[in-house]
């Protein structure tokens, strides 16, 4: 068992919860960063509520855009590993709030790197949540050798973070790396992302709570994996002899429309009866095709995905159906 401390930003998000579970299982102390909100915290922390009784799990309040809070928290906890998962992670939203997205996704990681440097945390290892969105409109399959060509404010900001992470590795001899993760989903996925929007709507339609699901571009292709598999790769990347960037993907790609078909057939529903296109959900520029080649991670880290497309769709649909049925039973 480890007696290391990990500092995890984005603790209220999908990946923060799975990564915390993995690290606590390995014996780490986990310090999770949560930003202040005037509203109810109970719902925001729902994916980590089962960890709250664990003495090795601590929540701190702060914001990666506030460099003072990063400097002070890292000085206090002196973590062995920092995982920067915090982001404005919705690509469509980044076209509506480009400046806020850039502050969080580009300046935020820089604040953390600077906090590590200023505090002389020479043994602290840093993981940056990079993304397949960096490839933009470059044809797949995409590997570590494929050039980046971002097409959204989200991806432009993430590209800065990716480059500045490599710059700190080279300039200050820091163990700092970026995981270029392709789309990964789970029952804990935010409800505005397309997979979760589809599984929740299908469950609602099945139960008679909803009639129509409105979507945007059904032709875009994504390489979808399971978040639980992907957080393992983050840990592996920080526990090697040398810091390197890796692609994490399934090597399979599917149209958004195929995910709809798969989930609606699980629900016994006809797509044409319930799904409508609403141009409101189109983006000014959408990444057409993501298909990752993660052979380097398989070879060097021994990482391999366990959950495939059909299993993922079923896991998410069944979880949403169960949540909605429980809610209905409680209201009866």
Closer residue to ligand NAP (CB): 181 or 267: 181
Q: CA–CA distance from 165 to each of 15, 44, 200, 248 (Å)?
A: 20, 29, 36, 18
Which string of DSSP letters, residue by residue, matches 208-275?
TS-S-EEES-SS-EE--EEHHHHHHHHHHHHTSSS---EEE--S--EEHHHHHHHHHHHTT--HHHHE
**Residue 260 in contact with ligand NAP, rule: CB under 6 A:** no
Partner whose footprint covers residue 92, from ligand NAP, ligand G4F, none (CB < 5 to 8 Å by kind)? ligand G4F
Closer residue to ligand G4F (CB): 222 or 305: 222
Q: Provide, rounded to whole angstroms, the least separation between the CB of residue 72 and ligand NAP.
A: 14
Our answer to whether residue 131 is catalytic in this structure is: yes
Question: Bridge-partner residues for 128, per DSSP?
Answer: 84, 178
Our answer to whether residue 185 is catalytic in this structure is: no
Q: Provide, rounded to whole angstroms, the least separation between the CB of residue 150 and ligand G4F.
A: 11
How many helices (DSSP H) and strands (DSSP E) are in the chain?
Answer: 13, 13
DSSP H or E run through 72: helix 67-77
Partner whose footprint covers residue 256, from ligand G4F, ligand NAP, none (CB < 5 to 8 Å by kind)? ligand G4F
**Residue 152 in contact with ligand NAP, rule: CB under 6 A:** no
**Residue 320 in contact with ligand NAP, rule: CB under 6 A:** no
**Residue 213 in contact with ligand NAP, rule: CB under 6 A:** no
Listed ranges 87-95, 138-146, 210-218, 275-283: which one lies at the site for ligand NAP (CB under 6 A): 87-95
Closer residue to ligand G4F (CB): 73 or 231: 231
Pick the closest to residue 290 from 260, 244, 255 (CA basis).
255
Q: Provide, rounded to whole angstroms, the least separation between the CB of residue 110 and ligand G4F.
A: 18
| CA angle at 78 for the pair 72 and 54, rounded to the nearest 5° | 100
Partner whose footprint covers residue 16, from ligand NAP, ligand G4F, none (CB < 5 to 8 Å by kind)? ligand NAP
Checking phi first, is residue 173 left (phi over 0); if not, alpha (psi -120 to 50) or beta?
Answer: left
Catalytic residue among 81, 133, 185, 262: 133
Tokens standing for residue 41: 């915290």
Distance CA 199, CA 317 (A): 5
| CA angle at 217 for the pair 214 and 222, rounded to the nearest 5° | 115
**Residue 65 in contact with ligand NAP, rule: CB under 6 A:** yes
Per-residue contact track with ligand NAP, 15 to 54, x per CB under 6 A?
A: xx----------------x-x--------x----------
- Enumerate binding residues for ligand G4F (CB under 6 A): 89, 91-92, 131-133, 182-183, 192-194, 197, 215-217, 220, 222, 256, 281, 283, 286, 290
Question: Bridge-partner residues for 58, per DSSP?
Answer: 31
> Which are the catalytic amino acids?
131, 133, 154
């Amino acid at each position: 068992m480890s007696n290391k401390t990990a500092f995890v930003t984005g603790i209220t998000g999908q990946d923060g919860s799975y990564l915390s579970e993995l690290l606590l299982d390995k014996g780490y102390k986990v310090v999770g960063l949560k930003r202040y909100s005037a509203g109810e915290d109970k719902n925001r922390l729902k994916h980590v509520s089962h960890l709250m009784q664990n003495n090795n799990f601590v929540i701190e309040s702060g914001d990666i855009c506030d460099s003072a809070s990063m400097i002070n928290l890292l000085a206090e906890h002196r973590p062995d590993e920092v995982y920067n998962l915090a982001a404005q992670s919705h690509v469509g939203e980044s076209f509506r709030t480009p400046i806020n997205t850039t502050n969080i996704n580009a300046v935020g990681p820089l604040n953390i790197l600077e906090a590590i440097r200023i505090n002389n945390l020479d043994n602290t290892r840093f993981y940056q949540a990079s993304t397949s969105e960096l490839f933009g409109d470059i044809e797949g399959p995409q590997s570590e050798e494929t050039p980046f060509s971002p097409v959204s404010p989200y991806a432009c900001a993430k590209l800065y973070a990716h480059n500045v992470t490599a710059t700190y590795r080279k300039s200050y001899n820091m163990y700092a790396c970026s995981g270029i993760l392709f789309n990964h989903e789970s029952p804990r996925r935010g409800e505005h992302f397309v997979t979760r929007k589809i599984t929740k709507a299908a469950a609602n339609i099945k139960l008679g709570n909803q009639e129509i699901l409105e979507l945007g571009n059904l032709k875009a292709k994504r390489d979808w994996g399971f978040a639980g598999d992907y957080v393992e790769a983050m840990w592996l990347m920080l526990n090697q002899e040398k810091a390197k960037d890796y692609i994490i993907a399934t090597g399979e790609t599917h149209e958004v429309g195929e995910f709809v078909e798969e989930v609606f057939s699980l629900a016994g529903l006809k797509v044409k009866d319930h799904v409508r296109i609403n141009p409101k959900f189109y983006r000014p520029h959408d990444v057409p095709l993501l298909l990752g080649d993660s052979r380097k991670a398989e070879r060097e880290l021994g990482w391999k995905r366990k959950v495939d497309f059909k299993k993922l769709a079923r896991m998410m649909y069944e979880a949403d159906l169960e949540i909605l049925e429980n809610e209905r039973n409680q209201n009866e």
